[in-house]
Structure 1
């Protein structure tokens, strides 16, 4: 009952934020981000700061500033999601696409495509900006344990033009790509035992290989796309040149090689915009805790013989 009620509570809050002036809405979002930073457990903050230091090789004060900003951005991000019902009518006021010709070039092949994105800035807005600019996009979501929150988020993703699909629905992903759609995948989280172990920001991490696997199967392009903050509450969606899987007889090696290229693009983005990335996610946990398996890498060596 409580889970169902949350959906209606979020809808009411969304209605309020849509009625409030934009400046007041963002001011509330800034306050939420600043206040909730002090509620983050000290252990989680320490982990984030250490990860920044190890990844970027910077001093502690700078690392604390980056970790804090990567959290406080969630206040305005939440506000923007709550304001989707009105933002959708004038999306280009808030988001500028940079490098759209790269995406158009990839789609001209007629094979659909896979977007390789990251938890940078407001990643929910990234999908909406593409959809509102006429791109047919499937937003691949992680099903939430709270049904009310899950229903709300998927409804708002659909509201701004995305077709929503859960990440376990792989068969339908293949079908949608075959129809020429874009599949949006977030590629920067710890993939645990399902991933491929490779260097990420200087340390071994378990990296998701879904984009490379689907692209190899469908001969589809992979387009790295990230969103970053722009001036005066705006955002920029940066669209990179497409990546293609070099298909050989060694499937595992192909997937690993392509995943390394994607991972390098994500690394480069994070180094350029460190405050935009979500450092409070324990990105290296499965390798550090010996939960990720390295058999995939070993299999590459055996198959290459």
Structure 2
């Protein structure tokens, strides 16, 4: 039932003018900010202060903007049937030629991205520009919601696989596809490696560097920025190659640290567009007792 409700809402949203959707998206985002639990808000505000070194007032503003933007982002996803018809009205890719040249050999590439800007549109923008892209997604708990979002992702050209589909990722990479990986979320300590992020020891997923090293393919970083008029710029940098020495772990650590640094630089430039409500240091608070992570509780 939920699937058909979402389809109906999408149809209605596509009937509305773009400006009207922006207004409704902002309204929805402001409502979302009101219902976010205060404990989660406080955690986001404290993370912002810790990372950016700013005062309470500015941190609250960034935390709110970071949450409110989910409203317009949702409306953009619902408007994918329209966006796919004329994507240049919504997004421009800076550095697309770098990615095209890096993939010209037919060996594929790894795109390291972050939860900044509209990351759902990011993968579609690449696909609509002719880049064969595999979006790596987390399966939604609700099967109807999962069916809907994956249908809309594939509608704008992406091939979707779940995080558990590692074999499929490597198979698609060998066929010359680009694998899109989100690299800025906390992971379990067994799978992660601790590196620097905003001057703090941070548990980081090594997936992009590990995959690129194994297959000998380039890594590109990619981040979205949305301006005040609702137009997106997709920024691509690279290629970066993972060194292949006898010390595999160090090779992966060095490359992953470069990705962390690139994400940090982008977040510092556009802090209101990052997903601050995510508890980035959750998995290592107890382990690193010499760092005052208790302030984030």
TM-score by length of 2: 0.95
Deviations 1:123-162 (A, max 9, x none): 0010111111111000110011111111100000000000
Aligned partner of 1:61 in structure 2 is 57
Measure how far apart 1:190 and its partner are. Answer: 0.3
Measure how far apart 1:231 and its partner are. Answer: 4.5
Aligned partner of 2:292 in structure 1 is none
1:203 and 2:200 matched: yes
**Worse overlay, 90-99 or 229-238:** 229-238
Aligned partner of 1:41 in structure 2 is 37
Deviations 1:205-255 (A, max 9, x none): 110100011101100101000001134111000001211001001111111
Deviations 1:18-76 (A, max 9, x none): 11122111211110001110111110000000000000111111111111100000000
Structure 2 gaps of 5+ residues are 289-297
Aligned partner of 1:125 in structure 2 is 121
Aligned partner of 2:159 in structure 1 is 163
Matched residue count: 287
Residue in structure 1 matching 2:249, options 240, 247, 252: 252
State how far apart, in whole Å, the 2-side matches of 1:176 and 1:110 are: 11
Residue in structure 2 matching 1:228, options 216, 225, 229: 225
Aligned partner of 1:271 in structure 2 is 268
Matches within 5 A, 1:1-305: 5-193=1-189, 194-290=191-287
Is the 2:94–2:236 contact (alpha carbons within 8 Å) kept by the matching residues of 1?
yes
Measure how far apart 1:200 and its partner are. Answer: 1.1
Aligned partner of 1:301 in structure 2 is none
User: What's the Cα RMSD here?
Assistant: 1.1
Is the 2:223–2:234 contact (alpha carbons within 8 Å) kept by the matching residues of 1?
yes
> Could you say what secondary structure the match of 2:217 adopts?
coil
TM-score by length of 1: 0.92
Measure how far apart 1:101 and its partner are. Answer: 2.0
> Could you say what secondary structure the match of 1:237 adopts?
strand
